[in-house]
């Protein structure tokens, strides 16, 4: 029996295992919404309040589950409103599939009402995109879109759907297999390269594992822990890699980079063997490039061959899926005298690392009286939840304090915009994570500036009774901007003071949520405990924190990792 394009799309989504769509209706996609109105299958639609929020929700859904998030929006401004969310997912290698409405094919290029060349606009920030011109190609394109989004190095894919394709009719035939000759990701590592890497590690005296978000994308956390334990190698992660290695493990040194720990940055500066796993040597990680890991031979494992030696030249490249390569490396580690000699040889390195940890710990002192320190709020969130929460963040100081003071023990529990640094990401991402994980505690650690960028999604959280918690570290400033102005612009606070802020308690209540406020240190635990009891709606916790507090350590732009500004 023939189906309309809209019916073929919905059936294709069901066949891909999709259970949730984050979307916002409009003229070009009304045929799809009409099918959804009559559809009774295992597919729900979450009505967002802005298309950017939809993509961030799908992103949060994807990061917290490993399954592609799905977005449906209309043409023109509906499509263009998704661009920031798509770019966010692209920079952080998140599998999201975005379906956009388009004017009928005969009108494309005629400046029709609500027309935008979304394929052209998003070409630089999608892994791939499609304009469907023929209904007979729709089923194949949908299947390809999901395959491309989730395989190899994951990323967002966009499918543009002209209205006449949605109303046309054809037989629905799901493709049996994917045949993409130009797209063949490499999963197995090269045997000789793996052998060389193991030999290099066993001949080193100061090894360090530097793990990134690729460990989480590849579901390789168990293998990474086994690898580090078997070779007794200290581990640091990027911002995106937090949770990929247990934050409470004795081998963990914390995050490295611009706001990394003293220990991690000094270890990377002094290592003689750096094992980069699923990471891309981002500028926030490396600092001054020609002084990054100056004594090290570098091994780099990544599924994306274009990431290897792009920023930093490496000695032993291994292209492949991180999980698969780590399994092969574990099998290649010898036992007996050679392994014993190696472990004996790195004992001095471990003593040095423990000394750095002892002399420069990452901690803060919260006075019993006086202003609340934002780091203290994060510490209390960790303590009162036992670390058992999915944490999202906005971008800025709140993001860095969350990364530094919440010890992430498991993968897919820290969702943040690392590559693009998108303010307004955290709250809708938390909604997406809560939809995907209804039984999990989800908390967005936010700033008073960034939370306002997608605050309209409070209505979404209230409508669907989602108990997302938002901890606003309210310092009345664009905090990270103010910090840079303080350190590098002689305290010229140009347009970084937010002035009159909304009453976040009243704002939460106006949407139908719950608002709580902590003005002094003694309020912090009370507010958190009260928020944790609420199970049927979102909660905004407004913590009035010290506006002068800065994020330390800090590596100034253009400086090497060992030139940190310390508290």
Distance CA 553, CA 567 (A): 7
Mind giving me the DSSP string for 152-191? SS---EEEEEEHHHHHSEEE----SS---TT-----SPPH
Average pLDDT value over all residues in the chain: 97
In the chain, CATH 3.40.50.970 covers: 2-171, 374-544
The number of beta carbons lying within 10 Å of the beta carbon of residue 463 is: 15
Q: Which residues pair with 160 in a beta bridge?
A: 100, 131
pLDDT of 336 reads 92
pLDDT above 90 (res 278): yes
- To the nearest whole percent, how much of the chain has pLDDT over 70? 100
pLDDT above 90 (res 178): no
Residue pLDDT, tens place only, 263-272: 999 999 999 9
Strands of the sheet containing 390-393, edge to edge, are: 414-415, 390-393, 442-447, 469-474, 539-544, 514-518
Q: Kindly report the CA angle at 21 between 18 and 22, in degrees rounded to 5?
A: 150
Pick the CATH number of 2-171 from 3.50.20.10, 3.30.559.10, 3.10.450.50, 3.40.50.970: 3.40.50.970
In the chain, CATH 3.40.50.1220 covers: 191-359
**pTM here?**
0.97
- To the nearest whole percent, how much of the chain has pLDDT over 90? 96
Confidence of residue 177 (pLDDT cuts 50, 70, 90): confident
pLDDT of 33 reads 98
pLDDT of 530 reads 98
pLDDT above 90 (res 176): no
- Report the number of secondary-structure helices (H) and strands (E) in the chain: 23, 20
CB 374 within 8 A of CB 404: no
Mean pLDDT of 550-562: 96
Residue pLDDT, tens place only, 313-369: 999 999 999 999 999 999 999 999 999 999 999 999 999 999 999 999 998 899 988
pLDDT above 90 (res 64): yes
Mind giving me the DSSP string for 325-365? HHHHHHHH---SHHHHHHHHHTHHHHHHHHHHHHHS-----
pLDDT of 41 reads 80
Residue pLDDT, tens place only, 443-469: 999 999 999 999 999 999 999 999 999
Residue pLDDT, tens place only, 1-12: 899 999 999 999
pLDDT of 536 reads 97
Pick the CATH number of 191-359 from 3.40.190.10, 1.25.40.80, 3.40.50.1220, 3.40.50.10490: 3.40.50.1220
DSSP 514: E
pLDDT of 359 reads 96
Residue pLDDT, tens place only, 457-503: 999 999 999 999 999 999 999 999 999 999 999 999 999 999 999 99
pLDDT of 537 reads 98
Residues noted as catalytic: 51, 113-114, 163, 480
* CATH T-level topology, domain 374-544: Rossmann fold (3.40.50)
Residue pLDDT, tens place only, 78-104: 999 999 999 999 999 999 999 999 999
The number of beta carbons lying within 10 Å of the beta carbon of residue 156 is: 35
Mean pLDDT of 46-75: 98
pLDDT above 90 (res 161): yes
Distance CA 205, CA 224 (A): 20
pLDDT above 90 (res 179): no
Distance CA 184, CA 178 (A): 11
């Amino acid at each position: 029996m023939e189906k309309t394009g809209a019916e073929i799309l919905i059936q294709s989504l069901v066949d891909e295992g999709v259970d949730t769509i984050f979307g916002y209706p409009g003229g070009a996609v009304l045929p799809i919404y009409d099918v959804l109105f009559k559809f009774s299958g295992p597919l729900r639609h979450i009505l967002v309040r802005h298309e950017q929020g939809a993509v961030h929700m799908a992103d949060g859904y994807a990061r917290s589950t490993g399954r592609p998030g799905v977005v449906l929006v209309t043409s023109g401004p509906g499509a263009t409103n998704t661009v920031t969310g798509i770019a966010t997912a692209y920079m952080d290698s998140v599998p999201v599939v975005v379906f956009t409405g388009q004017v009928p094919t005969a009108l494309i290029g005629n400046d029709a009402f609500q027309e935008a060349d979304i394929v052209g606009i998003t070409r630089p920030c999608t892994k791939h995109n499609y304009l469907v011109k023929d209904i007979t190609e729709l089923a194949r394109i949908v299947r390809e879109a999901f395959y491309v989004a989730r395989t190899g190095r994951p990323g967002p894919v966009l499918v543009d759907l002209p209205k006449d394709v949605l109303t046309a009719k054809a037989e629905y035939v799901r493709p049996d297999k994917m045949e993409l000759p130009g797209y063949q990701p490499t999963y197995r590592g090269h045997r000789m390269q793996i052998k060389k890497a193991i030999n290099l590690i066993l001949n080193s005296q100061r090894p360090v594992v530097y793990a990134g978000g690729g460990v989480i994308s590849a579901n390789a956390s168990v293998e990474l822990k086994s690898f580090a334990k078997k070779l007794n190698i200290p581990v640091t992660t990027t911002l995106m890699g937090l949770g990929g290695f247990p934050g409470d493990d004795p081998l963990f040194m914390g995050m490295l980079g611009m706001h990394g720990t003293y220990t991690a940055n000094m270890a990377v500066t002094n290592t003689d063997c750096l094992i980069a796993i699923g990471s891309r040597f981002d500028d926030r990680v490396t600092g001054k490039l020609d002084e990054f890991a100056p004594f090290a031979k570098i091994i780099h494992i990544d599924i994306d061959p274009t990431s290897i030696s792009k920023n930093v030249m490496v000695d032993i490249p291994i292209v492949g899926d991180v999980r698969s390569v780590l399994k092969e490396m574990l099998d290649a580690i010898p036992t007996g005298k050679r392994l014993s000699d190696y472990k004996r040889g790195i004992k001095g390195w471990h003593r040095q690392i423990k000394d750095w940890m002892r002399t420069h710990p990452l901690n803060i002192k919260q006075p019993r009286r006086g202003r609340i320190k934002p780091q203290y709020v994060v510490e209390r969130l960790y303590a009162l939840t036992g670390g058992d929460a999915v944490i999202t963040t906005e971008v800025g100081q709140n993001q860095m304090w969350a990364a530094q003071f919440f010890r992430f023990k498991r993968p897919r529990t820290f969702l943040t915009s690392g590559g693009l640094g998108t303010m307004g990401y955290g709250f809708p991402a938390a909604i997406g994570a809560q939809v995907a994980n209804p039984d999990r505690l989800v908390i967005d650690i936010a700033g008073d500036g960034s939370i306002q960028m997608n605050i309209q999604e409070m209505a979404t959280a209230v409508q669907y009774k989602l108990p997302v918690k938002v901890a606003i570290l309210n310092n009345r400033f664009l905090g990270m901007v103010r910090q840079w102005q303080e350190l590098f612009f002689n305290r010229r606070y140009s347009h970084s003071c937010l002035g009159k802020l909304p009453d976040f308690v009243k704002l939460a209540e106006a949407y139908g949520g719950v608002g709580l406020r902590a003005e002094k240190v003694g309020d912090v635990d009370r507010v958190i405990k009260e928020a944790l009891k609420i199970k049927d709606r979102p909660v905004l916790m407004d913590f009035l924190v010290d506006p002068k507090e800065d994020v330390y350590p800090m590596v100034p732009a253009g400086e090497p990792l060992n030139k940190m500004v310390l508290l």
